[in-house]
Amino acid sequence: MSDNNEMLTEGLEGLDGYGEGEYGPVAVKDTIEEKIDINDAADGDLSEAVSDGNEAGNSISGEAESAATEITESDAISDGMEAEADKINADKAEADATENGKDNEPDNTDDADLDNADSEEAGDDSNRLTALLLKKKRLIYVIAALLVIILIVLGNVIYQAVSKKNASTNEPTGMVTDLNGGADGSQADAVDNSALDNTADSNTSSDEALNDENGTDDSTEVVEDADSGDDENDESADTDDTDEASEDANEVATAPVVPAPSGTPVEVHGKLSVNGTQLVDCNGNAFQIKGVSTHGIAWFPQYVNYDAFKTLRDEWGVNCVRLAMYSGEYNGYCTGGNQSDLKNTVNNGVDYATQLGMYVIIDWHVLGDQNPNTYKDQAKSFFSEMSEKYAGYSNVLYEICNEPNGGTTWSDVKSYAEEVIPLIKANDPNAIIVVGTPTWSQDVNLAAADPITGYSNIMYALHFYADTHRDDLRNRMVAAINSGIPIFVTEFGICDASGSGANNYTEGDKWIQVMNQYNVSYNIWSLCNKNETASLISSSCSKTANWTSSELSDSGRWYVGVLGNNVDPGSGASNSNTDNTNSGNGSSNSDQPSAQEPATSTPAAPETPNTPSTPAAPETPSTPSTPATPETPSTPSTPAAPETPSTPSTPAAPETPSTPSTPDAPASTGTLAASITNSGNWSNGTSDYYQYVVKIEANGGDVSNWTVVINFGTSVSIDQSWNGNFTANGNSVTITPVDYNSTVASGTSYEVGLIVYTTGSIGTPTVTVQ
């Protein structure tokens, strides 16, 4: 208690030079001395310390009320109310005389001196009176500050005495809570004592009066010193498990974590981290996420449900679900969507995954907004909230920008990431954060050349669609890994980049083989029944869980085969290998909002383009063999001459049939036909966007070095394009081949695509071949 006694002694010295009487310094000094005695006695006798504390608290309460009254009087006089001030002084004098049994006589020499001074000053002008009142106000503020000190010291006395008592008896007292508890550090909330509560109220009044003066008082320093001392007590209180108020003040606001069920991916592998280029589990072993991405949860929220996730885990072999929340599209988080509903869907998804022991990715799905900085402030607020909520969870990962595109540079993405990452790390220092890369998350080479530094557990996204992105992009991924950065394929499909067209199982299998070889994690797009190739559920199926094999799309069945869980979809069976570490190969951009009516009351989203990525050159498709030249019919052999009868003459030999001529070989150069189809249109409020697919087909022979021209009814600009080289010039767009489709073999076709925008009516485009 010596430190507390030293503080009280300093408080006593601060009262030297002030008189006695109604302002109470002597009484306060007596009270302080009583507290010193309490400190000395606290270690020995808990009951006496508490009793003296309550007694002192009642005395403090009275002194605080007196202080509050004096503040009120001072304020009145400071406002220029001289008459009221004189009346107050007269009342004071009368009160002193009554208290001591004499009229207008001081209690002792000090009181006499004070009254004489008051009389002399009353005869002076109003400036003298004002000066005296300011002096009294200063004294009152010092008294108020000392009351705060006394309150703190008294609290420490009781707390330490109770702590010692509890240590010896190991019995809960229930009498004292955390003296330093509460997020605002309020001392009044710490002690269950009405007298101390009243004192706190009085202190509040004193603080308000002090603030009204708009000045600095020495008592401020005293309070700061007291608070500094109190910080030490906070550290001590934090170690007490029974200190509920302190726990409330210091705990991170996180949702309760549901323990992962036994044998599930999270229970087996725990919280993941990044070691070099590898994702590893809690034991430091290489680990691969093999998951599924939802479509936009604004349009297909019905697939975010417990039974769906359980089906994915038990029957498919999935260990992760990616929750795709669009930021910029129709009904996106920042473009008119119901933010509360969207966050609820995300929260529900995290809860379902947690209950099932699955990993989950919270995806800020940048696409139509192109540059993540477009809605940076909203992203920062969102990830601050999410990371605070899930800081204690072992299964939550964050993808902070899905597919930067439209000319967004790596410098743009990196600067955005360097503002968002610290907000997540402040709440969850060990969180895994995936950062998208430019050109629809393909330019991992740019991130490899200039990675984000200063943080652990950072990964970089790569997205592919197997029928568009082939060896070139696979090689780019491998080069980035070899350069030292960890890659996460947070989205992929096996059709073309538009999400449509045919599935390319051969290229899809090649991607799976390379990703397994380098332990790259991946999530396939997408868990919905949208009428497009990339959807995992058949468009004719309205079920949201427990799908049979026939209710899956072709890509859905392929992916189940890739995961190799050896469970018949829809059977309700569960593979005992629930940690989902198996891998395998399947048998022999599509992340755009759907125009399909969801099976909920959520309004259907208009058809938004499937955002293609700039393709890496796929392998040139094999040229179908030229039809074999029909075989020349064999010349029938000359029939053997019949045996010559003894008398008739030998008949003439039949004529040898003529050999049919070989047909002419096909022409070496065929003709190219082209057709154009509109596959969607939308508006961003200032421009109208149109998506087109151009089909190019060779007939009558191979066609090389082709050129196709599209003519529009108005001037257009190109927003996105794929599978060709595109040049806009006024009303027209010229398309030339890339290396892998520079020759179109006879009888085969290619699809190329583009998105253009304009501010006028586009009319009906025409396409010609040159």
- pLDDT 10s digits, 212-238: 333 334 433 333 343 433 443 343 334
Task: Give the pLDDT score at 9.
Answer: 62
* Bridge partners for 734 per DSSP: 709, 727
751 is catalytic: no
Task: Give the pLDDT score at 492.
Answer: 98
Between residues 597 and 767, which one has the greater pLDDT?
A: 767
User: Six-digit token pair at 446?
Assistant: 């740019």
Q: What is the pLDDT of residues 2-35, one digit of tens each?
A: 555 565 565 555 555 444 444 455 555 565 566 5
State the average pLDDT over residues 49-56.
Answer: 51
Between residues 737 and 143, which one has the greater pLDDT?
A: 737
Residue 301 has pLDDT above 90, yes or no: yes
Between residues 332 and 135, which one has the greater pLDDT?
A: 332
User: Six-digit token pair at 47?
Assistant: 């009951």
Between residues 682 and 63, which one has the greater pLDDT?
A: 682
Task: Give the pLDDT score at 254.
Answer: 44
Q: Which DSSP state fits 641?
A: P
Reported as a pLDDT band with limits 50, 70 and 90, residue 58 is: low
Between residues 325 and 78, which one has the greater pLDDT?
A: 325
Q: What are phi and psi of 595, to 5 degrees?
A: -90, -5
Q: How many helices (H) does the chain have, and how many strands (E)?
A: 19, 20
CB atoms within 10 A of CB 539: 13
**How far is residue 444's CA from residue 431's CA, in Å, rounded to a whole number?**
21
Task: Give the pLDDT score at 576.
Answer: 46
Task: Give the pLDDT score at 228.
Answer: 39
Distances in whole angstroms, Cα of residue 158 to Cα of each of 38, 46, 59, 181, 657: 9, 8, 17, 15, 126
Q: What separation, in Å, do the N-terminal and C-terminal C-alpha atoms of the chain show?
A: 97
Among 339, 347, 424, 346, smallest CA distance to 375 is for 339
Between residues 82 and 235, which one has the greater pLDDT?
A: 82
Task: Give the pLDDT score at 185.
Answer: 32
* Bridge partners for 751 per DSSP: 695
Task: Give the pLDDT score at 683.
Answer: 76
Asked whether the beta carbons of 420 and 431 are under 8 A apart, the reply is: no
State the average pLDDT over residues 236-241.
Answer: 38
Q: What is the pLDDT of residues 350-401, one digit of tens each?
A: 999 999 999 999 999 999 999 999 999 999 999 999 999 999 999 999 999 9
Between residues 385 and 250, which one has the greater pLDDT?
A: 385
CB atoms within 10 A of CB 153: 26
Task: Give the pLDDT score at 434.
Answer: 98
Q: What is the pLDDT of residues 512-570, one digit of tens each?
A: 999 999 999 999 999 999 999 999 999 999 999 999 999 999 999 999 999 998 777 88
Residue 62 has pLDDT above 80, yes or no: no
Least confident of 100-114, 296-310, 617-631, 684-698: 617-631
- Strands 487-493 and 521-527, sheet pairing: parallel
Q: What is the pLDDT of residues 398-415, one digit of tens each?
A: 999 999 999 999 999 999
Least confident of 50-59, 202-211, 331-340: 202-211
Residue 98 has pLDDT above 90, yes or no: no
Residue 96 has pLDDT above 60, yes or no: no
Task: Give the pLDDT score at 127.
Answer: 57
CB atoms within 10 A of CB 629: 11
Phi-psi sector, 350: left (phi>0), alpha (psi -120 to 50), beta: alpha
Angle at 364 between CA 359 and CA 367, to 5 degrees: 130
Q: What is the DSSP string of 20-62?
A: -STT-HHHHHHHHHHHHHHHHHHTT-HHHHHHHHHHHHHHHHH
Of the CA atoms within 13 Å of residue 483, those in its CB half-sphere come to 17
CA dihedral for 572, 576, 578, 581, sign (positive or negative): negative
Q: Which DSSP state fits 391?
A: T
Question: Which is the catalytic residue, given 34, 315, 399, 491?
Answer: 491
Residue 325 has pLDDT above 80, yes or no: yes
Residue 663 has pLDDT above 60, yes or no: no
Reported as a pLDDT band with limits 50, 70 and 90, residue 751 is: confident
Q: What are phi and psi of 447, to 5 degrees?
A: -65, -35
State the average pLDDT over residues 239-254.
Answer: 38
Least confident of 119-133, 227-241, 716-730: 227-241
At a CB cut-off of 8 Å and minimum separation 6, what does 708 contact?
672, 674, 694, 696, 734, 735, 752, 767, 768, 769, 770
526 prior amide bond cis, ω within 30: yes
Question: Which is the catalytic residue, given 403, 551, 697, 751?
Answer: 403
State the average pLDDT over residues 239-260.
Answer: 45
State the average pLDDT over residues 633-651.
Answer: 39
Question: What is the percent of the chain where pLDDT is above 70?
Answer: 56
State the average pLDDT over residues 577-597.
Answer: 44
Task: Give the pLDDT score at 569.
Answer: 86
Task: Give the pLDDT score at 134.
Answer: 66
Strands annotated E in 628-738: 671-683, 688-699, 703-704, 708-711, 717-722, 725-729, 732-736
Question: What is the percent of the chain where pLDDT is above 90?
Answer: 43
Task: Give the pLDDT score at 567.
Answer: 77
Residue 135 has pLDDT above 70, yes or no: no
491 is catalytic: yes
Asked whether the beta carbons of 489 and 464 are under 8 A apart, the reply is: yes
pLDDT, averaged across the chain: 72
Task: Give the pLDDT score at 713.
Answer: 85
Q: What is the pLDDT of residues 432-461, one digit of tens each?
A: 999 999 999 999 999 999 999 999 999 999
User: Buried b vs exposed e over 658-681: b needs ≥16 C-beta within 10 Å?
Assistant: eeeeeeeeeeeebebebebeeebb
Task: Give the pLDDT score at 142.
Answer: 72
Between residues 88 and 537, which one has the greater pLDDT?
A: 537
Q: What is the pLDDT of residues 188-219, one digit of tens each?
A: 333 233 333 333 343 333 333 333 333 334 43
